[in-house]
Amino acid sequence: MKRPVVINEVMYWFAFDSMGEFAFNQDFGMMRRQEWHFAVTLFRRALSIVGPFAPPIWLIKVGFTFLPWFWKIGDWFKMLAFCNQQMLSRMKTRPEEKDTSSFFLDEADKEGHSESMQNWLKGGTATVIVAGSDTTAPSLTFLSYLLAKHPEHAEKIHAELAVVDPLDLNAISVLPQLNGTINEAMRLYPVATTVVSRETLPKGIMIGDTFIPGNTKVLAPRWVIFRLKKFHLRFLPGEDGKEVLRDMRDQLTAQPRKIEAYV
């Protein structure tokens, strides 16, 4: 290939196609056609309202209730309708190999298809589609960017994968260089909603010199938290990444998705 590749697009195509395979046993065909599926464009418009309105969540709830057709709120409901349609289509098939939907449908069959179960099924379907594609794509994009910027780490990952079966999930889940690089990319560029609301413990909490009363909603922005000096690591040339991770004083550094639980 003699022209540059827009990795942002390719990773979104790959992530959405992969999500379709895992969740619904179908391929949305974006990698083959090298073009966007209308649903992805719809999702990106709909989800763009989450960030700005995450702190005053009551405001977006008012919009959902009284203005479902207005602005990008309409895209949100179109997104949910698309998600529901994918599950309805999946219910008409019986694939030989289990996919993610199989577990949802098995639970629905066991509990009975009541209205509450149908709502649960719709919510689960939307979560699988959005979380399985809209977070995967930027994560892969940032990971590719960091590896291109630091190719020496790409070489180390290649060396790790050369001696294991890349299809063996148990084997690749413990590779220190691979998993350390993924975690570091997620720390530097958190792709989920970065302003997460949490409720303080009943006894309250001290943040610096400020006391926050119990049962108070606080915002924990991942972007800021992940850049605190207490979470910085320094690897010396030639140092074994596995040893550094084992000896780390604060294990939260290696688990970026769990940090906000401690705030």
pLDDT in tens, 186-203: 888 888 766 667 788 899
Q: What is the mean pLDDT of residues 87-112?
A: 85
Interatomic CA distance for residues 124 and 199, integer angstroms:
24
Interatomic CA distance for residues 182 and 142, integer angstroms:
9
**pTM greater than 0.85 (yes/no):** no
Instruction: State pLDDT tens for residues 36-89.
Output: 888 888 888 888 887 777 777 788 888 888 888 888 888 888 888 888 888 888
Rounded to 5°, the CA angle 83-221-58 comes to: 55
Q: How sure is the predictor about 240, in pLDDT bands with cuts at 50, 70 and 90?
A: low
Q: Where are the alpha helices (DSSP H) in the chain?
A: 7-24, 30-33, 38-47, 50-53, 57-66, 71-91, 100-111, 115-133, 136-149, 151-161, 169-172, 176-188, 222-225, 241-247
Buried b vs exposed e over 180-206: b needs ≥16 C-beta within 10 Å? bbbbbbbbebbbeebebeeebeeeeee
Phi-psi region of 135 (alpha: psi -120 to 50; beta: other; left: phi over 0): alpha
Phi and psi for 212 in degrees, rounded to 5?
A: -105, 120
Instruction: State pLDDT tens for residues 130-174.
Output: 888 888 899 999 999 999 999 999 999 999 999 999 889 899 998
Q: What percent of the chain has pLDDT over 90?
A: 19
Dihedral sign, CA of 157, 158, 160, 165?
Answer: positive
Tokens 């290939």 -> residue? 1
Q: Which two tokens stand for residue 245?
A: 């991770």
When mean pLDDT is compared over 108-112, 160-164, 228-232, the highest value belongs to 160-164
Distances (CA, A) of 124 to 27, 135, 261: 20, 16, 23
Count Cα atoms within 13 angstroms, Cβ side, for 81. Answer: 8
Residue-level pLDDT at 263? 43
Q: How sure is the predictor about 93, in pLDDT bands with cuts at 50, 70 and 90?
A: confident
